Amino acid sequence: MLSNIEHQSVCEVRDLGLIDYTAAYGIQKECVARVLAGGAQVLFLCEHPAVITLGRLAQEANILDLEAISRQGIRVVPIDRGGDVTLHAPGQLVVYSILNLAQSNRDLRLYMHKLEQVTIALLKSFGIVANRISGKTGVFVGTDKLVSLGIGVRKWVTYHGLGINVNTDLKLFDLVKPCGLDVRMTSMARIKGEAVEMDEVKKRLVEYFRKEFNLVL
């Protein structure tokens, strides 16, 4: 009979701090290659300087103010994840999970559901009641969107992940149509009425990730 540890999956946690989006993407690609070669899975935590990324389904019409984007020096980067237009900025916790689904199950829908569940549990721990909305990816508070998801998969190894608006400048979202949706974005800080300690969010996020995915971190 297998012990509990053998049912679990080993994963490292790396905090990249505030890092350029393209640099973080390069680190992800290197890590995916290592996992495919048998190396350790990794959970990356980071923030990015303001950047707009375009997923495989992105439509040009969902970039609303190119002039303002250019004036503010915000880069627009096409990327190989699912989904539409997403904005990253300081104050948003970005989580890149490099996991080997072939070790557990090969169910991308379940994987996305688990990512959402991690953030729902995280937000609940801060007294924020979050929910899913049928037919829409991500996590919402009422009808306002707080968590965005977009993943990539190579031979069942996942990359990209999710963005949680902790203390994000929400005015930046006026530049795009987030995820192609007519939706208002919100943040933990807006809901709580004060800035939220990012280090505490990271700490709790890692714990809920460990529980949901049965990881040894």
- Region of residue 61 (left: phi > 0; alpha: psi -120 to 50; beta: else): alpha
Give the pLDDT confidence of 172-186 residue by residue, as tens digits.
999 998 877 788 999
Q: How many alpha carbons fall within 13 Å on the CB side of residue 188?
A: 24
% pLDDT > 90, the chain: 79
Going by C-alpha positions, the residue among 20, 31, 59, 46 that lies closest to residue 178 is 59
Banded model confidence at residue 8, pLDDT cuts 50, 70, 90: low
Catalytic residue check, 11: no
Give the pLDDT confidence of 9-37 residue by residue, as tens digits.
899 999 999 999 999 999 999 999 999 99
Residue 36 dihedral angles phi and psi, to the nearest 5°:
-60, -30
Give the pLDDT confidence of 29-65 residue by residue, as tens digits.
999 999 999 999 999 999 999 999 998 888 888 898 8
If you average pLDDT over residues 68-73, what whole number do you get?
Answer: 92
- pTM score, two decimals? 0.93
The amino acid occupying position 192 is K
Residue 191 dihedral angles phi and psi, to the nearest 5°:
-70, -40
Choose, from 11, 31, 46, 179, the residue flagged as catalytic. Answer: 179
The domains found in the chain, sorted by start residue, are 10-216 (3.30.930.10)
